[in-house]
Structure 1
Amino acid sequence: MTTFSELQYLHGFGNEHETEALTGALPQGQFNPQQAPMGLYAEQFSTTAFTAPRHQNRRTWMYRIRPSAAQGDFQPITSDLLRSGPITEVPAPPNLMRWDALAFPEKETDFIDGLITMAANGNLQVQTGSAVHMYLANQDMTDRFFYNADGELMLVPQQGAILAKTELGNLHVSPGEILVIPRGIKFQIQLPEGKARGYICENYGAPFILPERGPVGANGYANDRDFHYPVACFEDIDGEFELVAKFGGNLFRCKLDHSPLDVVAWVGTSAPYKYDLSRFNVINTVSFDHPDPSIFTVLTSQSDTPGVANIDFVIFPPRWMVAENTFRPPWYHRNVMSEFMGLIHGVYDAKEKGFVPGGASLHNCMSPHGPEAEVFEKASAAELEPVRYKDTMAFMFESRFVFAPTRFALESNARQTDYIDCWKGLKKHFNR
């Protein structure tokens, strides 16, 4: 039996939420009464240390039919093309790299089996850095569930919506939206449209938060109210199920005799959430020059160095470009940060050819990059009238750590080995 609450989505990034699928399932006045309502078990779920400062502390109390300890022993299973940082199977080259969209598998493949790692950095054992995966699935997860003990997961759908059924409720996420699942939350991915492809950032470091606005002031960028959390929804189902865990960079599975999505009520600050990227309030120049891409930061995972992110999630959404006397595409640059980019739909203004929806590019620390030759010539001679970038949604995972590509990424047929040629047409314009 599956029970859904009739409450609406809970709103507000990082706030404490409470929701119950059955009236009276949520205890009042204390979190852990001697006997929880309705014969439920109280279980605390923490994604930060108990002693983290109050404004950073993330924990949720779940009131569930069975505690999570009601499971079998884990046994290792193959990780296929899933990898974790540090990547040591091949040396990380400083080359500029780009890939076409990966093809959907021909055999039946669910979300877990369809995970492919493109690159990773840092070290999951010391909780720094991140990994970038692709997911390609054409089958629902039915009797399987998954959780990741190594890091927080940000899913960026590119083709096909997904239904994330989680311990704390369900979230339907379409291309143009993102889904963030806290470290350790159990979930199942179903495919309302039959198949789905997208990107994943596995964040080993501090949980994603909203970036500070600084001189921008009280408004702009992503707003707290636009983040949506699930309402309580539980399954009371007995049967033969499998729970897959990613732990220490490896996959393990154990048997369950019930669905683990049996949380009837919950209250807390750590829960899955989704965000519609079209709600991002773009801040841009109204005079001259091209601001740094940090103005497009949606979420950030902070490092121990202020202002230098473990990982930033940055988007390049539809917007007006009005800068006067300015070369409008991103300037040529070398950067201490490393950039892994993807394209959800449309065309990215600095790469009009070759950078395709579902594809990716990697520009690592101090590797020079910028507009291709044709884009440079076109932008240098363009009439600088106001221009509306309409059909576009590119994004970037930007990190202080170098992304090491996997052997699969380096040797894949999807890799564009001629990517560097897009800059070969750059002409010498020097005129004394």
Structure 2
Amino acid sequence: MPSYHTLGKIPHKRHTQFRKPDGTLYAEELVSTEGFSSLYSLVYHTYPPTMVKELGEPYSVAPKIAREKHLKHTSLMGFNIEPADDYLQSRKPVLVNNDLHISLAAPRKSMTDYFYKNSQADEVVFIHEGTGALKTGFGNIKFAYGDYLIIPRGTIYQIEFDTEANRLFIVESFSPIRSPKRYLNSYGQLMEHAPYCERDIRQPENLQTNDEKGDFKILIKKQGLIYPYIYGTHPFDFVGWDGFHYPWAFSIHDFEPITGRLHQPPPVHQTFEGNNFVICSFVPRKFDYHPLSIPAPYNHSNVDSDEVLYYVDGDFTSRKSVVKGQITLHPGGIPHGPAPGSVERSIGKESTNELAVMIDPFHPLMITEDAVKIEDENYYKSWIS
């Protein structure tokens, strides 16, 4: 969870007069979540954030469902998603339910002629390939391979890439993204046994006040539609802000694995959570140290949840045939486990270099048309010796 943070200039007391050098008032805005009962920040704008000059026709970006109900182990070759110049056009939803949407993206160019705001979901953007900066009114965050960018709903942003070859794994959460409750004390601080701490969280820096009038296109997502707005002032006109609601970053390389004498269950890898799903990070780590331990994961019957694994890099104990960007979906209701030969091969090994992101949703995922295009149709047979 992000802690209290502030950048720029703010008045001594909230909801009081805060004037520009010319004597006119800055515009105060409360950015709040779940009404007035959850995280919020107070933002001070050069101009009121309400100056709409024009509205365009909304258009749909809702996922197109190919298989609403299914019971089949599924594999998607994520790097087969074709690159596209535009950031939003490159985003392809592949697995979705009412709690979250999972998308893949391969944008080649930076967002230069528009800004984007997701008003329906928090976004977790995992950087698989590429470098650049997330730019917002709250400040900027540089990113690189392995970074999770957590962008709260309602945040207007641009992504500026340094590279053309960019690969992103994106989770849209229709509930707030949080650190796991079991790692937080009653004051909201990450505890000593947590696999990361506050110093690992990167907050926005280098707030730049854009005092500009003109025509500024902001594409706003709401209920599966994109609404084109033209505002009369630059959206990054913050002179200052403070609070708990802002974008932040965490690197998967800063996740400290929890290991044990025997094989540890997947919840030890949990990194974030939303309502009805969790996000986990599998990172390089020492294997179990019982003299008779079996490092490979045991067979597991998913009874109450699906399991999604996004392979990032390294060698995987449970399966040799995976490639970068591959997604496996093991639906609830049938067991899955290590590939043939993996159990014996793992015995005696002391460590693994695997890197992966796992998502366990507690409601079934639907498979989209974009997913079917990159599906390995024979994956379900891969447990036959």
Q: TM-score, normalised by structure 2?
A: 0.91
**Does the CA contact (< 8 Å) of 2:150 and 2:247 recur in 1?**
yes
Q: For 1:202, what is the secondary structure of its paired residue?
A: strand
CA 1:214 to 1:105, structure 2 compared with 1: closer, same or farther past 3 Å?
Answer: closer
Give yes or no for the alignment of 1:316 onto 2:282: yes
Counterpart mapping for 1:75-114 below 5 A? 75-79=56-60, 82-83=61-62, 90-103=67-80, 105=82, 109-114=85-90
- Between the aligned partners of 2:43 and 2:20, the Cα distance in structure 1 is 12
How far is 1:27 from its partner?
0.8
- Between the aligned partners of 1:377 and 1:393, the Cα distance in structure 2 is 21
**Does the CA contact (< 8 Å) of 2:2 and 2:248 recur in 1?**
no
Counterpart mapping for 1:1-400 below 5 A? 13-20=1-8, 25-28=9-12, 30-38=13-21, 39-50=25-36, 52=37, 57-79=38-60, 82-83=61-62, 90-103=67-80, 105=82, 109-122=85-98, 129-213=99-183, 218-231=192-205, 232-285=207-260, 287-288=261-262, 290-301=263-274, 303=275, 310-324=276-290, 325-335=292-302, 336-353=304-321, 355-379=322-346, 382=347, 384=348, 387-390=350-353, 392-400=354-362
Q: TM-score, normalised by structure 1?
A: 0.81
CA 1:90 to 1:366, structure 2 compared with 1: closer, same or farther past 3 Å?
Answer: closer
Q: For 1:313, what is the secondary structure of its paired residue?
A: strand
- Between the aligned partners of 1:282 and 1:314, the Cα distance in structure 2 is 11
**Does the CA contact (< 8 Å) of 1:211 and 1:299 recur in 2?**
no
- Between the aligned partners of 1:136 and 1:228, the Cα distance in structure 2 is 24
Q: For 1:137, what is the secondary structure of its paired residue?
A: coil
- Between the aligned partners of 1:421 and 1:377, the Cα distance in structure 2 is 20
Q: For 1:102, what is the secondary structure of its paired residue?
A: helix
Aligned residue pair count: 375
- Between the aligned partners of 1:143 and 1:246, the Cα distance in structure 2 is 17
**Does the CA contact (< 8 Å) of 2:191 and 2:197 recur in 1?**
no
- Between the aligned partners of 1:219 and 1:202, the Cα distance in structure 2 is 28
**Does the CA contact (< 8 Å) of 2:152 and 2:176 recur in 1?**
no
- Between the aligned partners of 1:374 and 1:259, the Cα distance in structure 2 is 58
The C-alpha deviation readout for 1:118-150, integer Å capped at 9, x for no partner, is 01112xxxxxx1110112101111021001111
**Does the CA contact (< 8 Å) of 1:36 and 1:63 recur in 2?**
no
CA-based RMSD of the aligned residues comes to 2.2
- Between the aligned partners of 1:298 and 1:368, the Cα distance in structure 2 is 24
- Between the aligned partners of 2:132 and 2:68, the Cα distance in structure 1 is 35
